[in-house]
Every structure is written in structure tokens, then in C-alpha cells.
Structure 1
Amino acid sequence: MKRLFPLFILLLVLLSAKLTAQEIEISRLKKHIFYLADDKMKGRATGSKELAKAANYIENEFKKYKLQPLGENGYRQAFEAKVRRVIVPDSIRQAENIIGFLDNGAPYTIVVGAHYDHLGHGNFGGTRDTSHIGQIHNGADDNASGVAGLLELARYYSSNKIKEKYNILFIAFSAEELGLVGSKYWTEHPTLPLDKIHWMLNMDMIGRYNPDNGLAIIGYGTSSKFPSIFENISSTIKFNKSKDGNGGSDQTSFYKKNIPVLFFHTGGHDDYHKATDDADKIDYNALKAILELEVKVIDYSMLHDKMDFIWTN
């Protein structure tokens, strides 16, 4: 123990210095969310020209951070998604995952993901208030908040001047609202081998932190390594760990492929899947704190050998 204690202190100092030198920036988070959740984006429905604009925005950010393209056509991985909840004339829709790779020359890779589609005008199912059908569902929390987190972590790790022990693959998934279609497609057609994945981190609705409930971190039981990773992690926000790897978001697709997962989620609220989920309602200070917590989790996970997987059901 006398040998481990100084090492632990040194690690905390290094992590603190790293966060101080390369901070998560609220101004960038606001920029991303206000762009993606603007009325001009018309709710980012799968197959829409507005979602194509969002895809271009994400790709340009990946290029800015000098991430390597790891789609099937540059940064893009195209697929078809079907609307199943209601009958619509355009039920088959074209979609694309946007994929950028931070290559550290490592044998294994951490996947960081978030979906960038939403409900459009709420007319293909999913809206929680039928009186809102026809109105723009901006999806600021769901899931412009997660995409902002994805882009900010991409910027953070690509510009921190540290060659990490693991590579990081950043994926913006499409067609999540149609049934996790984009993440299912990627895990069935992976652009890097699934057995080379250390673990997967998913962000979906991380913008409406409620201090009474705290942040949910789902998937804690999917690897025996997570308890030791979290043992010495603290945060300015309250967080609760849940063992199950399943859940209503894209980490489920990875969990079903025997990959350890963590899903970060601030929970439901009155604006969920309504036309009132707007950018000015996001708690940007808490969002910053959540991403700082995620940096700690990612960094501590890099101190471990490749994760084992535990089926939690």
C-alpha cells in the first residue's frame, strides 16, 4: 500500500493538470447545441435535408480535429432506416453514421458515441404530446446535448498533446429514434473489429441535470473493471451507477455484442419528445461537469488492460 499511495496521488495530479491545461469549454457546447437545435434544423428527422446539414456539421468538426475518417465512404457509413411506428409514404429513409478515429497506434479502441437525429415535426411517431404534431421538435437535450459532448470530447482528446494508451473512435449515430438503427447497423457492419474495442461510452440526453435525481450511469455491471475505475472518482455533480447494460439508447447495440458499456443520461423531463425541448433550457454548467467526469472515467479506463465483459441480465 505504501507504494500504491504515491502512485495514486501522482495520477490525480496528472489528471488534474490535464483537465486544467485542456478544459471542457461551455462556449463550444453552447455553439453546438444552439446550432443543432435551432428551428432552422427542423428537428433533424432521419432522411431530412436538415439532418444532412447536421451530418456535414459533425464531419467538419471531425476534420477540424484531424480525426481520421473511418466510415465506409470517408467519414460516412450509409444505411437505410424504416419508420415503423406509423404509416407514412416515405417509410424507407436514407441515413448515415459519421465516424472519426483518433489513432494512437494502440491495439485497442474506446468507442464514444451519441445519436444526432431527432423527431422532426413529430409526425412519424415518438412525440409525447399529440398536440405538438406538426411543430418542430428541436431535441436540444435529445440529443444535441450528447452530440455536443461527443464533439467536445473529440476536440479535447485530439488536442491534448498526449498519445493515449488506447485509440478513440467517435461515432455520431443516425436513426436512433427509429429504433437504434444506426448503432445496430454499425455493430453489424463495424469499421473496426469488435474484438478490438476496450469499451463503449454513450451519451444521450445529458443536458437537463436534476440535482435531486443526479446523473445516471448505466452499464456499471458490464465489466469487472468498472468498480476499480470508479473507486477514486469524484465529481461536483451527484451520479448514480446502474449495473444493467440494456437501455433505450445506442449502448444497447454494443452490449448485445458482448462489449462493456456505460450510458450517461440525466433522465426524463417534461419537455422530453415534445416541441419544447429547446437549447435555452440546457444546464451548461452541469453538462461541462458531466464531460469532466467522463474524461476521468476514460482516463482511468486507460490504466487497465482490455476490459472483460459481463452479461448483466
Structure 2
Amino acid sequence: MRFIFRLAVLLSITAAAVAAGFIWWSQQPIALKQTGVEFRVPAGSSLRGALRQINAAGIPVQGDLFVLLARWQGKSGAIKAGTYATDAGETPLSLLDKLATGRVSQASITLIEGWTFSQFRARLDAHPRLQHDSKGLSEAQLIARLGLPLRSLEGRLLPDTYLFDKDSSDLDVLARAVGNMQRQIDEAWSQRPPGLPYRSPDEALIMASIIEKETGREEDRTQVAAVFVNRLRIGMRLQTDPTVIYGLGENFNGNLRKIHLQTDTPYNTYTRAGLPPTPIAMPGLASIRAAFAPAASDAFYFVARGDGSSQFSRTLDEHNRAVNKYQRGGK
């Protein structure tokens, strides 16, 4: 009996020592050659599959012990796909928690207010941490791939800084940007005040894009919106240079001339009444808000003062005097 008792005590002590050693191991920093080492866990990977990616990246984690740790923590089936990076002092336990909670290593890309879709697409194509699944697709093919009921993506992406899991698809970023813009427009449309001359949310988005290109000055946005809204209400042509420039496309060399204003295109608001057929850029939130809440103004004209601000006028005579003063050096 004494032998059995002693054996039981010895086994208990051994088990406790093993358990203590296991816990100690799980909390010790992994012997990394450097921090920030990245590895990617493909979608559908098992714990063993994730371990293969970890070891292949040069991260020395003991596989059997790591599997045992995951089972003990109840996380062996909770591994999330994505790209991960090791931190200073990374332990097996912290690495497991990272995999189970999906704390992936992120990158970012910024869509600037006033950019065209082609400009943003070029930024996407050049980003080193995206999978370029949209490469080679025409705009129509891209729209179909995203499953969107749209004819064009111009103006349809909300300017913002987008964080994403490194090595994720550029299609995911595009879909998020489109969804964010649609939510903003739908919300603004549902809360719009009465009397605005837009027949649809799309027309409001087009107006917001024109405001975005006409001024970057916060104080002037609602005034610019008022001018264009006032013109739409009476059927007066918008006569805005940014739409003409957009319609010229690659033929525009940076110098807008009188012949350009007289050359008809679907985007020439000097030759055609109403709004152009699509947005001409990606409007930011401030321009969207201005399109839905123009200033209470009876102005129909504005001209740049040369300092970034604009002079607004009610009549053509007032406008001509402002043009003479600010554009031609008159008094």
C-alpha cells in the first residue's frame, strides 16, 4: 500500500511539474530572429495547416505542443484566415490568441476626395499588399464581377482610408468603398429637404461630384451648391469647367480653351442643359452634404478670387464686374 501511495504521489508531482512546465512554455517568448515576421493562413486552413505556414516563415513553434495548447484553450477549430505578423515578445499563447481572434496584420490605402475612378484604380494596381484580382478587367467586367447594378463606377467610391488584411483582394476594397458611398447617399436622400431639383439619388451624387471639383474651400461648398441648384431650378445651363475637362478625357492637356467650351460632349455643361450623365469624380462627405443642403442664396454666378475663395453674384452684371476685378485685374 505504501508503494502505491508513493507512486500516486510521484505521478501527481510529475503531472503537476509537466503541467507547470507546459504553462511556462506557453508564456515564454518565441526565439524569433526578428519581429514583424509575416505568414499567411489561407482560407479553410486547419490548425496543422496554419502551423506549416508559421514554421515555413521561420517562426520556431513546436508543433505538437502548440496543438496541445490549442486543444487545452478550446481554440483548435477557431483559426482565422489572413496575414499575421509577429510582435516583440510573442509567445505561443499570444500567437494562438491572435490566430483565434483574427488579429491580422493590416495595410491601408487612401482614396482622395476629387479623384476619378481611373486615378484610384491606378493606386490600387500599384499597392504592393493587395492581390490584384481586378487587373485586366474592363470597367464593365469589374462591375459585373462585383455584382453591382451600375453602368459606371465613377463617383461611386467613398473617399476614405481603408484598412485591409494584407494580401486580400482589391475587389474587397472596391466593394467596401462602393458600399460606403451607397449608404451615405441613401441616408442623405432619405433625409433630404423638400424642393431640391434632383430626380434621383444618382443626380444628387453627380451634383456632389461637381461641387467637389469646383472648390476645396469648406466655407464655399454650400454657396457653390446653391448656385448650381438655383440654375437647375430655372433650366439655366450649369456652365462648369470641371465637367468640360472630364468630357475631354485624355485630350485635355491642362489648358482649357474657348474651343473646348464650344465642343459638344455629353459632359459639356456649356452646350447641354442639366447635369452630366455620370459623376465626374469621387465626392467627399462635405460635398455630399452641400449637395443636399445648399445655402439659402439667390446667387447664380461665382468666380475665383485667386486666393482659393470665390465671389458669388446674383446678376450677370455683378458677375461681370467680379470677373473684371478678380480675373482681369480691373477695379
| Higher relative strand content | 1
Task: Give the greater-gyration-radius structure (CA).
Answer: 2
Instruction: Give the alignment's TM-score, normalised by structure 2.
Output: 0.19
